[in-house]
Chains A and B, each alone.
Chain A
Amino acid sequence: GAVVSQHPSWVICKSGTSVKIECRSLDFQATTMFWYRQFPKQSLMLMATSNEGSKATYEQGVEKDKFLINHASLTLSTLTVTSAHPEDSSFYICSARGPGPYSNQPQHFGDGTRLSIL
């Protein structure tokens, strides 16, 4: 089945550091990928839709300059948390819609990245 790989799994870094998270579709091409954020014991909140070869579409309230998204190829999207601060600590998870007919294809998720800013 469709596999999405996300790296790194864990990041611990100092406040002010920029952190890059990679999301790869391993066995299919994904023109669209999605980035979510999840706080402890809460649901997934969509941050942005990443489109290959074009600008990402951000959800309302998400800072574009804080969360930079690049979708340079059909198999790779990156999320960069710029100048991260403790309030950016969270679980970030990416997904991509699998190949095949549009109507019934689920999104396949990476394993997520736990980001801790000290």
Chain B
Amino acid sequence: AQKITQTQPGMFVQEKEAVTLDCTYDTSDPSYGLFWYKQPSSGEMIFLIYQGSYDQQNATEGRYSLNFQKARKSANLVISASQLGDSAMYFCAMREDEFSGGYNKLIFGAGTRLAVHP
């Protein structure tokens, strides 16, 4: 069963507007972490934001915020005031604390390609 689902293969947004990238997950582990990474065309993986399963508040990092809805098992990434440099592939990932054997393995979604238009 797919554990991380990103249903949007591609998204377009106008520069300076906000965009939401969807991510849903499936786990029976009560303790887990959710991550978002950005991958530009050059290939490197850039960590953006983290949300822990026990965190009460939604995570924010500059222009990035994570809309965490635990009951719905969703962890959507919101990018405010989009910039041309935000054009990239975005991956949602999950770490299951109990089932990863303590190794902090990540499971990645299929990714969403974001294109920011001027």
- On A, residues with C-beta under 8 Å from B are 32, 34, 42-46, 49, 51, 57, 91, 93, 95, 97, 102-112, 114
B6 CB, min distance to chain A CBs, angstroms: 9
Q: Which residue of A lies closest to B46 (CB)?
A: A109
The 13 sampled A-B contact pairs (Cβ below 8 Å) are A34-B105, A42-B110, A43-B108, A43-B110, A49-B105, A57-B103, A93-B45, A103-B97, A104-B33, A106-B47, A107-B106, A109-B37, A112-B44
Give chain B interface residues in 44-58, CB to chain A under 8 Å: 44-45, 47, 50, 52
A83 CB, min distance to chain B CBs, angstroms: 25
**Interface range for B:** 20 to 34
The answer on a CB contact under 8 Å between B109 and A32 is no
- Alpha-carbon distance between A14 and B101 when the two chains are bound, in angstroms: 38
Which residues of the other chain, A, contact B25 by a CB distance below 8 angstroms? none
- Alpha-carbon distance between A51 and B103 when the two chains are bound, in angstroms: 9
The answer on a CB contact under 8 Å between A103 and B45 is no
B68 on the A face (CB < 8 A) = no
The answer on a CB contact under 8 Å between B91 and A109 is no
Which residues of the other chain, A, contact B50 by a CB distance below 8 angstroms? 104, 106
Q: Which residue of A lies closest to B47 (CB)?
A: A106
The answer on a CB contact under 8 Å between B110 and A109 is no
The interface bits of chain B over 91-118 (1 if a CB of A lies within 8 angstroms of the residue's CB, else 0) are 1000001000101111111110000000
Q: Which residue of B lies closest to A103 (CB)?
A: B52
B98 CB, min distance to chain A CBs, angstroms: 13
B97 CB, min distance to chain A CBs, angstroms: 8
Q: Which residue of A lies closest to B113 (CB)?
A: A41
Known: A43-B91, A49-B105. A95 touches B45 (CB 8 A): yes
